[in-house]
Amino acid sequence: MLNSEYTKNLNKEQKEAVMCLDGPLLIVAGAGSGKTKVLTTRIANIIKEKKAFPNQILAVTFTNKAAKEMQIRVSKILGAAATGLSWLGTFHSICAKLLRKHASAVNLNSNFTIIDSDDQIRLIKNICKAENIDIKQLAPRYVLAIIDRWKNKGFYPNEVIINQKDIYEKTILPIYKIYQQKLTDLNACDFGDLILHAVKILEKNIDIREIYSKNFKYILVDEYQDTNFIQSKWLKLLAEKNKNICCVGDDDQSIYSWRGAEIKNFLEFDQVYENTKVIRLEQNYRSTENILSVASNLISNNQNRVGKTLKTTMEEGDLVKLNCYKNGKDEAIGISDEIEKLKKKFSFNNITILVRAIFQTREFEERFLKIGLPYRILGGTKFYERTEIKDCVAYLRLIYQEKDDLAFERIVNNPKRSIGDNTLKNIHQYSKECNLCLETSSKKMIEENLIKPKTKIGLSSFLELLSKWRNDLKVKKINHVRLLQNILDDSGYSAMLKNKKDIENENRLENIKELLSAMKEFDNLEGFLEHVALATSIDQDWEGEKVNLMTMHGSKGLEFEVIFLPGWEEGLFPHQKSIEEKGQSGLEEERRLAYVGITRAKKIALISFSMNRFYQGDWIDSMASRFIEELPEKYLEKNSFFDDEKDNEEDFEFNQDFELEDNARSPGWIRYQKRIK
C-alpha cells in the first residue's frame, strides 16, 4: 500500500479511487473535488505497488498544461521514478508518437509533417481553385469544420455517409477526398488525422493492437466527459487486453458539444466496459455551502446525468446575490459599484466577470474605462481591439478622413478585391514620390493606367464605394449607425462573415451588432471615433491587479474568490441558437454551463439580468432566464428592484406577460400561461 504520507490528505472516496486498481473505473468528480490529486496519487500508487512500470501506464489529458501539472505532481511523490512516464501527454501528442512508429501502415513516412490551421486553409483554397469552387459561397473554414467533424466520427472519405439535409456536404465530400490525397502526397497530416490514423492502425493491424493493449497495463484519462467518438474508440482499443481503464470527469461540466464532445461517452461508460466500478467524489473543497447549494439545485433539473450530491466543509458563506437591473448599462454600473465595495476585501485578480457570449464584455469595458477600473480579457481580446471591430472602425475613419493611410491599407482588400501586396507596394511608392495620400494616389494611378486590369476593377469599385459613403454621410446626412450598416452591406463584409459558417464568425457578427449598439450612444461619427481612439490608447497590460473578464466556456478548470454572472436573460442565456439547434440536449448543456459558471466561485457569486437591453441599435424587452426560476430562494439575496416590482406587480406583469394580438405572444406571456394552467 502507498505510504500513508501520500494518502493522509485524501478523503475516504479519494482513497478508494486511488486503491481500486483492478478493472474499469469511472470516477465522477464533482467541481472542486480534487480530481487531479486523485489521478496523480493513483499513478504513484500503481508504480509504488509495482503493479506496472512507468512506461506501462498511459495517462491522457486534453491540454499540455494539464499534462505538465500531472507530471510535476507525480514527480513530487515519486522523485526520479516518475521520469519513466513516457506515455503521459495529450491525446494528440501520444497519437503522434504512436503514428511515428507505424506511419507506413497509413502510407506515411515516419518523418511526416503535422500541418497547422493556416496550412489547412491554404490547401483547401488551392483545391477549391483547381475544382472551380467559389470560396465566397463555400468558406474554407466551413469546409474544414465539416471534414473535422467526419474525422471525429472516424470516417475516411470513402466511409462518409452524406447527410441529405445538408446542402453543402455533397460538394465538400469530393474536396475531402482530394484533401486527404494531397496530405498523403505531402507526407503530412492534420490534427484530426493524428487520432483517426492511430485508430485505423489499431483496428486493421491486430498484431500492433496487441502490442499496445498488452503493454498498457493501466490507462488513466482526465476530463473524460470532453472526449469525442474517435477518442473514445481509441481508448477502447487500447484497453482491450487488460481492461484497467480509469476515466475521471464530471458529466455536469460537459459543455463542449460544439467542438465534438459527446456526453454519452461518460453516461454510457458502464455499458461499454463490463463490471465498471463507479466512485463519486462529492466533497467540494472550493465553494461555500450557499454557492454549492445554488449550483446543485440548478443542475438537478437536468435529466441526462449520472447524479451526485456535492457537499462542502467550507462555511455557509454569503447568500448568492440575484440582482435585477433596468437595462444593460445599469447592470454594468451596478457591477462596477459592487466591485468597488469588494476591492477592500479581495484582490482585483480574484474578481471575475463571466459572460455567455464575448460581445457582452463591451458594456463592462466602456464602464471600466470611464471610471478607471483596471481589467483584462482572459482568453480573448479587448472589444475595440478585435479584428472585425478594427475593420469597421477603419472604414469609418477613412470615410471621415481620406488621408488616413493606415485605415486605407487595412481595408482596401478587405473583403478580397484582387488587390495584392505588390499593388499596394506600388501605390505606396507612387504616394511617396508624389506626396499624396494612398487614396488619391490610387485614383491617379487608375487614370494613368498604372494598375493591372483585374486589380483595376476591384480598386475602382472600392474607390466608388468610398465616394458613395461620403455622400451618404455629408450630403444625405444619414446617421453614423446607418452609415456603418450601409458599409457592411455594400462592401460585402457582412456577407463574407455570414458565408463562413463557424463559431468564430458567428461571434464576429455578434460583436459587430454590439458595435452598432455602442455607436447609438454617440451623437455623431466624430464623437464615436474619438471615443474609440481613447479606448484603444490604453494598452493591454497583463501585469498587476486587474478585474478579469472572460466567457463561461473559457472559465472551466479555473476558480476565483468572486464571480459575477451577468446577462441571465432568455435568448442570451440559455442561448436561443443552442435550443433551436439541439432542443432539450442544447438546453441541458446550457444549464451545465450555468453550473460551471457558479462553481468557479469560492466565496461570493452574483447573478444578474436586465429588463431591457440595447441590441443592434434598438431597445428590446428582455425576460429573466428560466434558470433564475430554478435557483432556490432560501440561498438567494435579491436587490431592491425585486421589492419595487412587488409593489408594482400589475405594471410588471403588463410589461412581461402581455398578450399582443391574436397570433402574436411575448415569450413571457407564453410562459405565464403555462404556469397558471
> Annotated active-site positions, please?
35-36, 222-223, 253, 600
Contact 578, 589 (CB under 8 A): yes
Rounded Cα gap, residues 153 and 228, in angstroms: 8
> Which residue is associated with the grid cell 460537459?
254
How many Å separate Cα 422 from the centre of its chain?
Answer: 37
Reading the block at residue 286, the C-alpha cell is 472550493
Reading the block at residue 588, the C-alpha cell is 441541458
User: Which of 121-130's residues contact partners 24+ apart within 8 Å by CB, and which partners?
Assistant: 123/179, 123/182, 123/183, 124/175, 124/179, 127/175, 127/178, 127/179, 127/182, 128/175
Tally of CB atoms within 10 A around 1: 10
| Contacts with 458 (C-beta within 8 Å, 6 or more apart), sequence order | 413, 417, 418, 419
Rounded Cα gap, residues 600 and 608, in angstroms: 16
How many Å separate Cα 676 from the centre of its chain?
Answer: 38
CA angle 606, 612, 616 (to 5 degrees): 110
Ranges of beta strands (E only) in 115-227 are 188-189, 218-221
DSSP per residue over 3-65, as a string?
-HHHHTT--HHHHHHHH--SS-EEEEE-TTS-HHHHHHHHHHHHHHTTSS-GGGEEEEESSHH
Listed in sequence order, the DSSP H helices in 261-315 are 264-267, 269-272, 289-299
Q: What is the CA radius of gyration of the chain?
A: 28
Query: HSE of 187 in the Cβ direction (CA atoms, 13 Å)?
Result: 9
SS (H, E, C) 412-438: CCCCCCCCCHHHHHHHHHHHHHHCCCH
Helix (H) or strand (E) holding 610: strand 601-615
Rounded Cα gap, residues 573 and 45, in angstroms: 43
Reading the block at residue 492, the C-alpha cell is 460585402
| Contacts with 148 (C-beta within 8 Å, 6 or more apart), sequence order | 192, 260
Phi, psi for 3 (deg, rounded to 5): -50, 140
Distances (CA, A) of 646 to 5, 419, 643: 57, 62, 5
Q: Are strands 601-615 and 618-621 parallel, antiparallel or unpaired?
A: antiparallel
How many Å separate Cα 312 from the centre of its chain?
Answer: 29
Rounded Cα gap, residues 602 and 364, in angstroms: 22
Reading the block at residue 513, the C-alpha cell is 451588432
How many Å separate Cα 154 from the centre of its chain?
Answer: 23
Contact 399, 469 (CB under 8 A): yes
SS (H, E, C) 131-178: CCCCCCCCCHHHHHHHHHHHHHCCCCHHHCCCCCCCCCHHHHHHHHHH
Tally of CB atoms within 10 A around 638: 14
The number of residues making up the chain comes to: 677
Rounded Cα gap, residues 633 and 617, in angstroms: 35
Residue 1 three-state SS: coil
